[in-house]
Structure 1
Amino acid sequence: MPAVPLLPALAARARSSAHASVDDCVCGTATLADRADATVVRHAGTVAKAHAPDTDAGALAPRLVTAAHLPDVLLPPLTPTPASLHGRLVTFWPYGTPVDADDPDAAPWEAAGTLLARLHRAAAPTPLPPMRGPAKAARAVARLRAAGPHPAVADVLRAWDTLPAWARAEAPMPDGTTVCHGDLHLGQLVRHPAPDGPWRLIDVDDLGVGVPAWDLARPAAWYACGLLPPEEWTRFLTAYRQAHGPAVPADGDPWPDLDVPARALTVQSAARALTKVLAGGGRPLDEVERSLVDACARMGSLPPQLAPNSAT
């Protein structure tokens, strides 16, 4: 009998997880994501996620335990033990209402800042692997190097080369104790219980210990590139500080702590954008892509600020 493809098999697992009996089920199943690194489906109030094929079970396990232990910050899994399907690790989660991308004025910047501060101040219930942010940035740069020539590639690589070794995943991070999300953006927040419960952080694939400023870096990078309005950046940073987040000082200039991670996220975003452009035949850069590349060009000629006591 031929194997059932991953997506319908995952949908069936979500359905069986959502219902004690599926005989009379009339719920539809929705595909929330279907990428090489994750396939996610929803059935009723259950979400099933097939993680990337190279996901390390030994690293995922403590991440799930941590999510279960911090339900006021992270969306807790329905079970802390992953299943296996088509050679992929599968986890099950309660459904939460995502951020409305069509209503930017309602973006939950205060909730994002507050949740990050709580996460950064939390004690991990079990030893965690390193947060994967720098490794993902390094992977994006490696893919750009292999993607082919483009006039902007040199600027992106030059900006990357100015970063300290830890930000390029070539050395241990200077903080090995703070719990970090590793890939914070507004798509990582949901309301649970749906539809209008409190906000929670989702996606533990990159969760681990490391430099907490990395979790503030994507909004910081977009603000520095002119892609995030100052008011929204201020809302986010103020909420983080008011919740006593340790990544930046309680007042004053936060940039000495944010500069290196923000530069790394700018390079990562530019590298991903250019890789897609090259894969699509080399179309002209759009406004956002050009802003990221231009920022890399500026960064390549100006060394980054280094936080006090940080590794070089």
Structure 2
Amino acid sequence: MTADTLLPALTEAARHAAHPAHRAAATPCPCGAEDAVLADRDDGTVVRHGDVVAKAHAQDTDPAALARRLSVAASLPGVLLPPLDRIPVDLLGRRVTLWPYGGPVDPETPEAAPWEAAGTLLARLHLAPAPDGLPPMRGPDKALRAIARLRAAGPHPAAAPVLRAWAALPGWARAEAPMPDVTTLCHGDLHLGQLVRRPAPDGPWFLIDVDDLGVGEAAWDLARPAAWYACGLLPSDEWLRFLTAYRAAGGPAVPAAGDPWPALDVVARALTVQTAALAVVKSAAADRPLDEVQRAVVDACDRMSSTPPELTRGFAT
């Protein structure tokens, strides 16, 4: 199956969800809304028609696990964007889910990034009871897949420090052992791209993307901003806005006061390794040197491999 076949079928699914009585794909839609491709990657293709978004999930998606994750999203409407239907449908061999449209974070105005909303929503998610039968959150699995892609990409001068930093992580962070916590409800892939406002442009914020949702180590959901901060890529005021909001909402991943880093160091290292591995893969595929940000995360891996865990001030220097 190619994008030439998937995209038209996915667009028609979004159109039909928006207008169930309108089935003629070749005729103009009665609402006049434009169709838009929001993402087209191996791990998900997303299209929008008007107020409806249709997502084709990765080909290896477990339909039963996805259905359980959709049920969680439907049960936490003030935290996760609720799906239009709890049951994924099959479309050309891909599992497809339907969602209301929400306005994303504007990358052109970083000063307006919703760090407080991200911290508050994340804390509320972590405090919600996890239903029985929910699979583990997939954060460590994604890090493992990034390392597998790095190894498959062949020799690269920046690969060695990344692999050394990976080898120094505890087994659970490398998806080789159970996570220390297997009961907390986690997002699994938290970053600012996982927040939308509904209704756009000034409605409340919601978390989106349930593909990695599950039970596990709550600290993993703070790992990406913690890693950016530790690598010197996220200003301290933005990191503190996020951390303060998370703590104020009762988030359980870090102590309510004092130094949070002992709880965050391992997961921040794991996300730094994951980010660096993907940076090297992209650099090799494009046959170009690492850019400044990519070099920063690889350099952080080099420092991490010679520094014991549980730092108190990050690993930017």
Q: 2:256 aligns with which of 245, 250, 267?
A: 250
1:127 deviates by 2.5
5 Å matches for 1:195-274? Answer: 195-274=201-280
Q: Whole-Å Cα distance in 1 between the matches of residues 241 and 30 of structure 2? A: 47
Equivalent pair of 1:260/1:306 in contact (CA under 8 Å): no
SS of 2:36's partner is: strand
Q: Percent same amino acid at aligned positions?
A: 72
1:126 deviates by 4.0
Q: Whole-Å Cα distance in 2 between the matches of residues 101 and 306 of structure 1? A: 31
Give the corresponding residue for 2:306: 301
Q: Write the deviation string for residues 182-222 of structure 1: whole angstroms up to 9, x where unpaired.
A: 00000000001222110000000000000000000000000
Unaligned runs of 5+ in 1: 308-312
Matching of residue 14 in structure 1 with residue 20 in structure 2: no
Give the corresponding residue for 2:167: 161
1:150 deviates by 1.1
SS of 2:218's partner is: coil
Q: Whole-Å Cα distance in 2 between the matches of residues 127 and 229 of structure 1? A: 39
Q: Whole-Å Cα distance in 1 between the matches of residues 30 and 243 of structure 2? A: 49
Matching of residue 65 in structure 1 with residue 71 in structure 2: yes
Give the AA of the match of 2:12: A
Q: Whole-Å Cα distance in 2 between the matches of residues 162 and 203 of structure 1? A: 30
Q: Are residues 306 and 132 of structure 1, via their aligned partners in 2, closer, same or farther at CA, if it must alter by over 3 Å?
A: farther
Equivalent pair of 2:81/2:207 in contact (CA under 8 Å): yes
1:305 deviates by 2.1
Equivalent pair of 2:11/2:35 in contact (CA under 8 Å): yes
1:164 deviates by 0.3
The TM-score, its normalising length taken from structure 1, stands at: 0.95
Equivalent pair of 1:147/1:278 in contact (CA under 8 Å): yes
Q: Whole-Å Cα distance in 2 between the matches of residues 212 and 279 of structure 1? A: 33
Q: 1:87 aligns with which of 78, 90, 93?
A: 93
Q: Whole-Å Cα distance in 1 between the matches of residues 264 and 136 of structure 2? A: 19
The count of aligned residue pairs is 304
- Give the CA RMSD over aligned residues: 1.4
Q: Write the deviation string for residues 13-45 of structure 1: whole angstroms up to 9, x where unpaired.
A: 100001133363422110000111110000010
Equivalent pair of 1:178/1:212 in contact (CA under 8 Å): yes
Give the corresponding residue for 1:138: 144
Q: Whole-Å Cα distance in 2 between the matches of residues 168 and 306 of structure 1? A: 19
Give the corresponding residue for 2:26: none
SS of 2:244's partner is: helix
Give the corresponding residue for 2:315: none
Unaligned runs of 5+ in 2: 23-28, 313-317
Give the AA of the match of 1:21: A
Q: Write the deviation string for residues 84-131 of structure 1: whole angstroms up to 9, x where unpaired.
A: 101000000000010000000100000000000000000124421000
1:5 deviates by 0.1
Equivalent pair of 2:261/2:311 in contact (CA under 8 Å): no
5 Å matches for 1:42-191? Answer: 42-191=48-197
Give the AA of the match of 1:233: W
Q: Are residues 140 and 100 of structure 1, via their aligned partners in 2, closer, same or farther at CA, if it must alter by over 3 Å?
A: same
Equivalent pair of 1:179/1:208 in contact (CA under 8 Å): yes
Q: Whole-Å Cα distance in 2 between the matches of residues 164 and 254 of structure 1? A: 19
Q: 1:284 aligns with which of 268, 274, 289?
A: 289
